[in-house]
Amino acid sequence: MATVNELQPPYRVGYIVGSISTGSINRRLSKALLKLAPEELVFTEIGIADLPLYSRDYDGDFPEVARDFKATIAAQQALLFVTPEYNRSVPGALKNAIDWASRPYGENVIARKATAVIGASPGPIGTAVAQQQLRSMLSFLQAPQMNAPEAYIHLTPGLIEDDGTVTNESTEAFLRGFMVSFFEYIERVLTVVPAPR
């Protein structure tokens, strides 16, 4: 059972950027989200770039990088996924990370954590297809999802600066509202979903 303190903010939120590119526009989006989030959310980036390709051969003895990755996820109360779309799907690095987080069988550290999904793309559909595939994976892994507001960001040049500053007032207001909604969703999930024993 969760303690009373764990049900009160601040809440620990791990965020995963689905791209491992150093110039990722989704990393830029993540900076904007952290800037606009309520102060009651405390963020930890959960890196995925150093994970080897998952194989069930590792299930008996995970490499240290994978053990550390899973421990970081386990320490969070919620997860924020910020993902691009590659070939109408999630990036391979993100799928690989989810496989590590959910294995071996019975040791899925994503289960029962409040989750939110968002993504940015230079194209007008703003990662909609990738997000639907990611949501399907999270459903299978028993992770409660914030279903609304949906957020498919068409990242036009100059919309978000390198430091995460949003230059358009309506986009800034939308992203701020998205993070407020996520805070409220985390609060609800923590009161109704029992913590793992």
pLDDT, tens digit (0-9, with 9 covering 90-100), for 31-56:
999 999 999 999 999 999 999 999 99
Q: Which residues contact 184 (CB under 8 A, 6 or more apart)?
A: none
Write down the architecture of domain 11-190 according to CATH: 3-Layer(aba) Sandwich (3.40)
Q: What are the tens digits of pLDDT across the range 145-159?
A: 999 999 999 999 999
What band does 105 get if pLDDT is binned at 50, 70 and 90?
Answer: very high
Q: What are the tens digits of pLDDT across the range 8-26?
A: 899 999 999 999 998 999 9
Contact 196, 112 (CB under 8 A): yes
Contact 29, 151 (CB under 8 A): no
Radius of gyration, alpha carbons of the chain: 16
Every domain of the chain and the residues it spans: 11-190
- Whether residue 157 is preceded by a cis peptide bond, meaning omega within 30 degrees of 0, is no
**Nearest-CA neighbor of 155 among 181, 132, 125?**
125
C-alpha to C-alpha distance for 187 and 56, rounded to whole angstroms: 35
Contact 66, 8 (CB under 8 A): no
Say if residue 2's pLDDT is above 80. no
pTM of the model: 0.94
Say if residue 65's pLDDT is above 70. yes
Say if residue 1's pLDDT is above 90. no
User: What's the residue count for the chain?
Assistant: 197
